[in-house]
Structure 1
Amino acid sequence: MHYQPDWLERPDAARLRVHRWHPDSPPRATLLISHGMAEHAQRYQRLAASCTEEGYQVVALDQRGHGASAACGQLGHFADQHGWRAVIDDLGALLKQVRREQPTLPICLLGHSMGSYISQGLLLQQPAAADALILSGSNAHPPWLSRLARFGASIEGQLRGWQQPALTVERLSFGQFNRQFHPNRTRADWLSRDPLEVDQYLNDPLCGFACSARLWHDLFGGLLEIADPIALQRLPASLPVLIIGGDADPVSAGDGLKKLCRRLQHAGLERVELRLYPGARHELFNETNRAQATQDLLDWLVQALPAATQHQENQNVQA
């Protein structure tokens, strides 16, 4: 595996860090990762290593306000205005760049948590952008709850400042998630059953920070967009979709992943698959059963991207 850092230059002068992991042989397909809230893309290096061993190249972007991209802005803040549109456009620009570089390679978009919502938002704008979609640690957020939470973020932004951390929203989200695992060892027990992974998260200065009221407001607005049943009908019926997560993930408590699966099926998608892992929490690829989850992902990619398999076979013949 070869690691290559890069930058994505955006029209508004933002510089976003891009991480690329290349296999030792010509790639069979691309896995494009959109990470979650209050983390960064380099946390997916272990997953990237497993994927490159199977011939996939992996590309990931530090979202605005996250990871190395936050050096050009504020940690935990997308933008002062139109942040949701900005992060969707960022991901779309990276996807187009990857497509231009290797137009014959299939692309699978993997979004985790917040990244799963951004990925859905992108595909609603560009339905044919990706050849397959994986949603990890996601949820089917009820529209009424998104409206209520967006109103709460708005109040907090007006009272404390839009760029200030939304402490009340934070307490009502992440704080509630952790309560499900009392007695708590740390404030991040909800992420994984693996204490080493939780400690690495807590010791990482680019993880676990509080996000701004504006970011939360942007996010809840985005959740309303991707829940629109009419908009969801834009997605190609043949798009392969894998929904994965732990059945103890508090983000999707109340059968949120099953509801997400039904939401997409009701929109007309014919190739939606759901896999739940008993006892697993929010970060499936940092869980104690991560080896099984990773292998299942790789097995699914072979079925979802048959063109990738054919491409690899052609490369082997040419070699």
Structure 2
Amino acid sequence: MSVEEGSHTLPDETELYTKTWKSEGSPKAILALVHGFSDHCNAYYDLFPTLASNGIEVRAFDQRGWGRSFKGRKDRGNSGGTALVLSDLHSFLRAIPVPPNVPLFVMGHSMGGGEVLNYVLHPDSPYNQSTARPQLAGVLCYSPLIALDPATRPMAFTVIMGRLVARVLPKWQRYSPLDGSLICRDEQVVKDYTSDELCHNTGTLEQLAGMLDRGIWLEKLKEEDLKNTEVLPMWFGHGNGDRITSWDATKKLASVLEKKGDVTFVTYEGGYHRVHMDPGETREQFSKDVSDWVLKQASTYSQPQPEAEPQPVPE
């Protein structure tokens, strides 16, 4: 296993920090990771090296305004609205060099999970609007932000006022700290999180409103809304002890999607928001579940053939 750092330049010349965990030899699959709110791609401990040791190459990036992709205080959380967030994801995925017959998967954690779901399901997403879209073999959603748990959900009045001010001052920054004790059941992980300067807990009003709007759209999604949408194979993993994002909301959405496609839902009993670093056997089981599902999907993957060019009609 080898690790490479790099960068990805977006269409507006913004540079994103990237990191790749490569497997030995040719990968059996490639997994792109989209991190969550106040997080970054170097905070996932041994999850990515474990996947790489199983033949799954992991490609991750720090989103605009987060981790090592922000340059100064004014850039903190300044990731833009949903259109820009999904455009950035689209650009990153399309730039991944995928060898022939190697399947590409995308995985989103927390806020990133909500982004990934909007990316593949929303009709206005660049994935569903562009002809030059990445050939995804499946989607993994880990503790996705569909709805916030009541323990961390802001008051309705706060949300309403935030939306109103965001229309006038979209770039206004708001410090919105997560309760570190709810991140994980491992005390060292909590200490690491609360002392990590890259986890700055700051979003712009535009970013915060967009994040909540993406969740609201997913929460209201019904089977009839997906009649013209291809539902890729999906894997959901969520701890039912999560008090940041709602296990109930994830389970409900998975139940809607399984009527349209191949959906796996895994509950981690008592698991907190970062199940991959919960103590005991939970973290090992999480890595195994992700790896097993990806490799199972990869074993039956058949690369889509390009559409044939239309032939001229003889005169």
TM-score grouping bracket, smaller chain normalisation: 0.7 to 0.9
Q: Is the 8 A contact 2:41 2:61 kept in 1?
A: yes
* TM norm structure 1: 0.80
Matches within 5 A, 1:51-200: 51-71=51-71, 74-79=75-80, 83-98=81-96, 100-124=97-121, 125=125, 126=127, 129-141=135-147, 151-157=160-166, 161-167=169-175, 170=176, 174=178, 187-200=179-192
Q: Is the 8 A contact 1:109 1:132 kept in 2?
A: yes
Q: Is the 8 A contact 2:5 2:20 kept in 1?
A: yes
Aligned mates of 2:83, 2:114 — CA distance in 1:
12
Matches within 5 A, 1:1-319: 1-71=1-71, 74-79=75-80, 83-98=81-96, 100-124=97-121, 125=125, 126=127, 129-141=135-147, 151-157=160-166, 161-167=169-175, 170=176, 174=178, 187-226=179-218, 227-229=220-222, 231-237=225-231, 239-253=232-246, 255-265=248-258, 268-288=259-279, 289-307=282-300
Q: State the 1:21 CA deviation.
A: 1.1
Q: State the 1:222 CA deviation.
A: 2.3
The one-character-per-residue Cα deviations of 1:121-161 (angstroms, maximum 9, x if unpaired) are 2213325742111110125439xx99x675342234368x4
Q: Is the 8 A contact 2:34 2:108 kept in 1?
A: yes
Q: Is the 8 A contact 2:20 2:58 kept in 1?
A: yes
SS at match of 1:255: helix
* TM norm structure 2: 0.81
Higher mean C-alpha displacement, 118-127 vs 282-291:
118-127
Q: CA RMSD in A?
A: 2.8
**Is there any run of 5+ residues in structure 2 with no aligned partner, and where?**
129-133, 304-315
Q: Is the 8 A contact 1:17 1:68 kept in 2?
A: yes
Q: State the 1:88 CA deviation.
A: 0.9
SS at match of 2:75: coil
Q: State the 1:257 CA deviation.
A: 2.2
The 1:264–1:202 alpha-carbon spacing in structure 2 relative to 1, beyond 3 Å, is: same
- Whose helix proportion is higher, 1 or 2? 1
Q: Give 2:131's aligned residue.
A: none
The 1:236–1:254 alpha-carbon spacing in structure 2 relative to 1, beyond 3 Å, is: closer
Aligned mates of 1:218, 1:109 — CA distance in 2:
21
**Is there any run of 5+ residues in structure 1 with no aligned partner, and where?**
175-186, 311-319
Q: Is the 8 A contact 1:28 1:308 kept in 2?
A: no
Q: Is the 8 A contact 2:16 2:69 kept in 1?
A: yes
Give the total of aligned pairs.
284
The one-character-per-residue Cα deviations of 1:230-283 (angstroms, maximum 9, x if unpaired) are 55444424x221110111101344622211212323xx4221111111111101
Q: State the 1:110 CA deviation.
A: 0.7
Aligned mates of 1:97, 1:113 — CA distance in 2:
23
Higher mean C-alpha displacement, 241-250 vs 207-216:
207-216
